[in-house]
């Protein structure tokens, strides 16, 4: 006897109803094989769910129902739902290694919450019930349906293992008919100590490894910087990304700026060019040096020559010190400037 709350405790074994769960009997599979070979051979179709309305399945004369056909939907593992929905947002390497981004994980968690409460069009959730062999958790794929002729009614009835309660038959009808009004049924979490979100996250955790979106983006960018992404296997990509350390934007900016200022832009060299030339030609400095030389006994006819020699030596030494290779404490100066910039509140907000 079924134990989950969406199933009738005592199913009607004399009649089919919308939402009946049918097991894969040899006889039923044999008939499906005649008309739908792929459908019958698909081992992942663990059960079948009756989609035809209950009113059309009543055998009023005890022999034949009103419906000409009995529609059945494939019932598959909830893990199939998770993987199929995840594939819509995965890159090829992610699908091959069971990786999803945290952003996609959040979307899938919300979708599974709706699936579990039977509020997601296209799916009908069936929680595991060991008493009828419904293991693990399953889900009917409503668009994935086929129809058998009404003459196969006894065959389907013999395969019946569970019957939905009337509210859930109505919910199934709503999902099938794309009704605008919501059929009121008990939410899954009302009947279980664990909340729906906790259960749905458990389904995700057993199928995927979730990695932060920034970590994926940065890892992929680094790999592409080394060569084409196709040069690496999906597993190599996954392992590389797992080992990738995500730095805050502030730290990344600082590291990049230090590299550029020290090794590429050569800011000290630019300063040297702006300073050394003007010093040698500065008349005020020449006059000051000449005064000092004259006061120390240098003959007037030698003042200009001595002044020029002094300025030449000063310029040469200054030019040597003001270079990106030899400037004392150059790295410390660059870091001090950057740290000062990064303490500015506006810059901090920009880098968030």
pLDDT single digits (tens) 252-282: 787 788 788 777 877 877 787 777 777 777 7
Residue appearing with tokens 């003001």: 322
Within 13 Å and on the Cβ side, how many CA atoms surround 3?
Answer: 9
Name the residue ranges covered by the structural domains of the chain: 21-210, 212-243, 249-350
DSSP 185-242: ---GGGG-SS-HHHHHHHHHHTT-EEE-HHHHHHHHHHHHHHS-GGGS-HHHHHHHHH
CB under 8 Å, gap of 24 or more: what pairs does 303-312 form?
311/279, 311/280, 311/285, 311/286, 312/280
Distance of CA 58 to the CA centre of its chain: 47
Alpha-carbon distance of 326 to 272, in angstroms, equals 12
SS3 content of the chain, % helix, strand, coil (to 5): 55, 15, 30
- How many CB atoms are located within 10 Å of the residue 31 CB? 17
Mean pLDDT of 98-110: 94
Strand order in the sheet with 160-162: 123-126, 138-149, 69-77, 47-50, 21-23, 160-162
Q: What is the CA radius of gyration of the chain?
A: 39
* Predicted confidence (pLDDT) at residue 171 exceeds the cutoff of 80: yes
- How does residue 2 score in pLDDT terms, banded at 50, 70 and 90? low
Residue appearing with tokens 């739902």: 81
Phi and psi angles of residue 167, each rounded to the nearest 5 degrees, phi first: -60, -35
List pLDDT tens digits, range 172-197: 998 888 643 444 454 544 445 456 66
pTM above 0.85, yes or no: no
Which of 68-72, 167-171, 176-180, 347-351 has the weakest average pLDDT?
A: 176-180
* Predicted confidence (pLDDT) at residue 1 exceeds the cutoff of 70: no
Please, are residues 93 and 238 in contact by the beta-carbon 8 Å criterion?
yes
Alpha-carbon distance of 197 to 114, in angstroms, equals 10
Mean pLDDT of 318-328: 77
Q: What pLDDT is recorded for position 195?
A: 64
Alpha-carbon distance of 43 to 40, in angstroms, equals 8
Comparison of pLDDT for 287 and 52, the residue scoring more: 52
- How does residue 247 score in pLDDT terms, banded at 50, 70 and 90? low
């Amino acid at each position: 006897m079924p134990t989950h709350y969406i199933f009738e405790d005592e199913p009607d074994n004399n009649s089919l109803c919308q939402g009946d769960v049918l097991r894969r009997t040899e006889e039923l599979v044999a008939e499906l094989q005649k008309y739908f070979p792929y459908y019958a051979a698909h081992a992942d179709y663990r059960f079948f769910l009756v989609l035809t309305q209950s009113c059309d399945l009543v055998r009023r004369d005890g022999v034949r129902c009103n419906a000409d056909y009995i529609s059945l939907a494939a019932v598959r593992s909830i893990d199939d739902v998770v993987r199929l929905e995840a594939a819509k947002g995965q890159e090829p390497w992610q699908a091959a290694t069971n990786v999803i981004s945290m952003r996609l994980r959040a979307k899938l968690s919300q979708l599974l919450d709706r699936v579990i409460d039977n509020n997601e069009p296209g799916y009908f959730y069936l929680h595991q019930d060991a008493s009828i062999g419904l293991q693990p958790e399953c889900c009917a794929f409503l668009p994935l349906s086929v129809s058998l002729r009404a003459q196969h009614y006894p065959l389907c009835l013999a395969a019946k293992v569970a019957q939905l309660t009337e509210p859930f038959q109505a919910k199934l009808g709503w999902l099938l008919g794309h009704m605008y009004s919501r059929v009121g049924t008990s939410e899954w979490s009302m009947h279980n100590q664990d909340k729906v979100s906790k259960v749905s996250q458990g389904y995700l955790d057993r199928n995927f490894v979730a990695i932060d979106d920034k970590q994926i983006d940065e890892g992929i960018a680094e790999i592409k910087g080394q060569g084409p992404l196709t040069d690496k296997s999906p597993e190599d990509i996954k392992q590389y990304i797992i080992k990738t350390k995500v730095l805050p934007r502030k730290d990344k900016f600082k590291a990049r700026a230090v590299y550029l200022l020290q090794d590429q832009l050569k800011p000290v060299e630019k300063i040297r060019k702006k300073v050394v030339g003007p010093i040698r030609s500065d008349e005020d400095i020449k006059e000051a040096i000449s005064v000092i030389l004259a006061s120390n006994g240098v003959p007037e006819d030698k003042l200009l020559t001595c002044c020029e020699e002094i300025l030449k030596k000063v310029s040469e030494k200054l030019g040597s010190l003001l270079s990106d290779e030899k400037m004392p404490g150059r790295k410390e100066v660059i870091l001090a400037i950057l740290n000062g910039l990064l303490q500015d509140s506006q810059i901090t907000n920009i880098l968030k």
